[in-house]
Amino acid sequence: MKVEATIGKNMQPLLRVENLVKRYAKRSLAGTPEEFLALDGVSFTVFPGTTLAVVGESGSGKSTLAACLACLESPTAGSIWFEGREITKLEERACRQVRPQIQVIFQDPASSLNPRWSVMEVLAEPLILQRKFTREEIDRRISSLLERVGLSPDIVERSPTELSGGQRQRLAIARALALEPKLLILDEALSALDCSVQAQIANLLVELQGSLGMTYLFITHDLAMAAHLADEIAVMDRGRIVEQGQAQKILKHPEQETTRQLLAAVPRLTLAPPLLEQ
């Protein structure tokens, strides 16, 4: 549907991941060093302006994938291409230039928002770091970011700890947007919110995709939310993508047992039309 409509034949992928492997060192119960394979040859492509949802049970490697894409972890093997450049091969300086373009929002924004700062400071910092805006421009940009995510300007003096969960998540999105990223990775970013706030923020994401052409990697264990937001879904199991395809196709004709189990965990009402288009 949306994918075919958006992607021209010659369009370059924004992100291409090839055979990504991540091994973590760990110790066995007996204390001997061992390795744990968290990503086991993951490959996929994301086109600009689209959403790929990565779904999977706890421990399947979703956050490890997000951390590798955001340069927070270095992969053991494989490659990540961003706008045609292999970022896994970049020197530290070149990597610093790419990094702001890939932003991650986690489940608990409180951990990434400094509680000693005001909302104003949280939003001003990424703009000041870019060193290309005057004080007036920064103020203007902050007002526009707040408006874009539906937060009232009245809260700028508050600390992130004085906001509701939904407001904090909107603030995290506004902060990520301040860097004008091309790719926004949302790692269970809506999971801790109640249903109505989840829906509001999901709609905000769709709206921002329409107005800014954002590309999302939406990580979740909730197949219904994935189907609601994504063009394509990739299902992960023990470090591998076991099934991938158009969101509606995965919902209607899941081929793998893992996908069927994730589907079985979704309340039937949530899958009612129009989510499950007839």
Ligand X SMILES: Nc1ncnc2c1ncn2[C@@H]1O[C@H](COP(=O)(O)OP(=O)(O)OP(=O)(O)O)[C@@H](O)[C@H]1O
Dihedrals phi, psi of 256, to nearest 5 degrees = -105, 150
Q: Which residue number has the CB closest to Mg ion? A: 63
Instruction: Please report where in the chains the tokens 């492997």 appear, as a residue.
Output: 21
- DSSP line for the chain: -HHHHH--TTPPPSEEEEEEEEEEEEE-TTS-EEEEEEEEEEEEEE-TT-EEEEEE-TTSSHHHHHHHHTTSS--SEEEEEETTEEGGG--HHHHHHHGGGEEEE-S-GGGGS-TTS-HHHHHHHHHHHTT---HHHHHHHHHHHHHHTT--GGGTTS-GGGS-HHHHHHHHHHHHHHT--SEEEEESTTTTS-HHHHHHHHHHHHHHHHHH--EEEEEES-HHHHHHH-SEEEEEETTEEEEEEEHHHHHHS--SHHHHHHHHTS-GGGG-TTSS--
Partner touching 38 among Mg ion, ligand X, none, CB below 5 to 8 Å by kind = ligand X
End-to-end CA separation in angstroms for the chain: 13
Tell the smallest beta-carbon distance from residue 78 to ligand X (Å): 15
* Residues that bind Mg ion in the complex, under the rule CB under 5 A: 62-63
Partner touching 60 among ligand X, Mg ion, none, CB below 5 to 8 Å by kind = ligand X
**Which residue's CB is nearer to ligand X, number 37 or number 120?**
37
**Which residue's CB is nearer to ligand X, number 59 or number 213?**
59
Tell the smallest beta-carbon distance from residue 188 to ligand X (Å): 6
Partner touching 111 among Mg ion, ligand X, none, CB below 5 to 8 Å by kind = none
**Which residue's CB is nearer to ligand X, number 26 or number 93?**
26
Tell the smallest beta-carbon distance from residue 66 to Mg ion (Å): 7
Tell the smallest beta-carbon distance from residue 269 to ligand X (Å): 23
Tell the smallest beta-carbon distance from residue 159 to Mg ion (Å): 26
Instruction: Please report where in the chains the tokens 């409180």 appear, as a residue.
Output: 110
**Which residue's CB is nearer to ligand X, number 26 or number 131?**
26
Tell the smallest beta-carbon distance from residue 37 to ligand X (Å): 8
Partner touching 126 among ligand X, Mg ion, none, CB below 5 to 8 Å by kind = none
**Which residue's CB is nearer to Mg ion, number 54 or number 205?**
54
Cα 73 from chain centroid (whole Å): 16
**Which residue's CB is nearer to ligand X, number 24 or number 128?**
24
Tell the smallest beta-carbon distance from residue 60 to ligand X (Å): 4
**Which residue's CB is nearer to ligand X, number 177 or number 189?**
189
* Residues that bind ligand X in the complex, under the rule CB under 6 A: 24, 26, 36, 38, 56, 58-64, 221
Partner touching 64 among Mg ion, ligand X, none, CB below 5 to 8 Å by kind = ligand X
